[in-house]
């Protein structure tokens, strides 16, 4: 199953929220390198013209539309009760007024289902906007791996925690989304995103190669397993009150 496998591999860049533009671009660019020929053809068929044939170019689209497609805003993250050590779909996947399944893991299930059914029957092709489904899914797979996209409700995933990043006053969420990547780009890669991507790609085949099979693995032959991605965000134990709840 082309796209799911590829999207599972998106988690290779483990670790950051609604990544900024560079983060989402890098994640999708790396994932594209793992697409089979069939998968690539299917992706290209769905891409809008603005992508110019490259999925990475539209991987931030979901952030651009979240304010006029306001219903999509809660789909970028899932927060747990404060100081909980764990994530639970039934407990945590809802929006701020309690509507179920409105969270990043719910969205990953939903858009995966749309894309999968789109390749199984023509009714689904008409029923869903599969171009948007692809752009949402490729974005949300990135988001779920940003640790503060699976954060605490009380501090809005680190958005209300003021910190200093070098000389700039900002919030913790923004540090993870953007500033770590920006600083790394400037410091180590001469502000060249292509060089940074190559370096990560080398790590996948080299330094992190032992981890790849576990990244690829969805239990019970599931097509997609976003709960596993959300769980894999490790909460610092000293911050937690309960690891069983």
User: Residue 172 in contact with residue 43, Cβ under 8 Å?
Assistant: no
Catalytic residue among 79, 94, 143, 176: 143
* Active-site residue, 143 included: yes
Question: Is residue 143 within the footprint of Zn ion (CB under 5 A)?
Answer: yes
Q: Which two tokens stand for residue 195?
A: 């060089």
User: Residue 19 in contact with residue 146, Cβ under 8 Å?
Assistant: yes
Q: Among the candidate windows 13-21, 102-110, 176-184, 200-208, which touches Zn ion by CB under 5 A?
A: 13-21
Question: Is residue 20 within the footprint of Zn ion (CB under 5 A)?
Answer: no
* Active-site residue, 145 included: no
> DSSP state, 80?
B
Rank residues 14 and 198 by Cβ distance to Zn ion and give the closer one: 14
How many whole angstroms separate alpha carbon 40 and alpha carbon 32? 7
Among 6, 7, 9, 18, binds Zn ion (CB under 5 A): 18
User: Interface residues for Zn ion in 150-209 (CB under 5 A)?
Assistant: none
How many whole angstroms separate alpha carbon 115 and alpha carbon 131? 9
How many whole angstroms separate alpha carbon 11 and alpha carbon 92? 21
Question: Is residue 94 within the footprint of Zn ion (CB under 5 A)?
Answer: no
Q: Which two tokens stand for residue 192?
A: 């060249």
How many whole angstroms separate alpha carbon 124 and alpha carbon 121? 6
How many residues belong to the site for Zn ion (CB under 5 A)? Answer: 4
Rank residues 80 and 138 by Cβ distance to Zn ion and give the closer one: 138
Q: Which two tokens stand for residue 101?
A: 């399944």
Catalytic residue among 94, 102, 145, 149: 149
| Nearest distance, CB of residue 60 and Zn ion, angstroms | 8
Rg, C-alpha atoms of the chain: 18
Q: Among the candidate windows 47-55, 94-102, 129-137, 139-147, which touches Zn ion by CB under 5 A?
A: 139-147
Question: Is residue 76 within the footprint of Zn ion (CB under 5 A)?
Answer: yes
Helix count and strand count (H, E) for the chain: 13, 2
Catalytic residue among 4, 63, 94, 145: 63
Alpha-helical segments (H) within the chain: 2-9, 21-32, 37-46, 61-65, 89-92, 104-118, 122-127, 130-143, 172-174, 180-189, 193-205, 212-216, 226-231
* Active-site residue, 173 included: yes
* Active-site residue, 61 included: no
* Active-site residue, 139 included: yes
Rank residues 94 and 173 by Cβ distance to Zn ion and give the closer one: 173
Contact flags string 48-67 toward Zn ion, x per CB under 5 A: ---------------x----
How many whole angstroms separate alpha carbon 83 and alpha carbon 46? 41
Rank residues 40 and 77 by Cβ distance to Zn ion and give the closer one: 77
Tell me how many degrees the CA angle 216-220-212 measures, rounded to the nearest 5.
15
| Nearest distance, CB of residue 146 and Zn ion, angstroms | 8
Active site positions, annotated: 19, 24, 63, 66, 76, 139, 143, 149, 173, 177
Residues that bind Zn ion (CB under 5 A): 18, 63, 76, 143
């Amino acid at each position: 199953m082309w796209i799911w496998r590829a999207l599972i591999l998106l988690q290779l860049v483990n670790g950051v929220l609604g990544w900024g533009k560079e983060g989402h671009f890098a994640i999708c660019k790396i994932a594209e390198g793992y697409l089979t020929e069939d998968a690539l053809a299917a992706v290209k068929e769905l891409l809008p013209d603005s992508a110019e044939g490259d999925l990475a170019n539209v991987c931030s689209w979901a952030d651009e539309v979240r304010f006029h497609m306001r219903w999509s805003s809660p789909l970028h993250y899932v927060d747990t009760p404060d100081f909980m050590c764990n994530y639970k779909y039934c407990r945590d996947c809802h929006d701020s007024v309690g509507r179920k399944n409105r969270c990043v893991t719910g969205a990953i299930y939903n858009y995966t289902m749309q894309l999968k059914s789109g390749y199984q029957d023509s009714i689904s092709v008409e029923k869903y906007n599969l171009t948007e489904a692809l752009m949402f899914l490729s974005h949300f797979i990135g988001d779920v791996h940003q640790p503060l996209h699976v954060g605490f409700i009380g501090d809005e995933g680190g958005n209300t925690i003021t910190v200093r990043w070098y000389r700039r006053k900002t919030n913790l969420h923004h540090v993870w989304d953007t500033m770590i990547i920006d600083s790394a780009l400037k410091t180590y890669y001469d502000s060249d995103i292509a060089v940074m991507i190559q370096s990560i790609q080398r790590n996948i085949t080299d330094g992190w190669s032992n981890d790849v099979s576990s990244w690829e693995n969805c239990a019970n032959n599931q097509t997609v397993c976003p709960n596993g991605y959300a769980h894999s965000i490790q909460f610092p134990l000293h911050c937690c009150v309960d690891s069983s709840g």
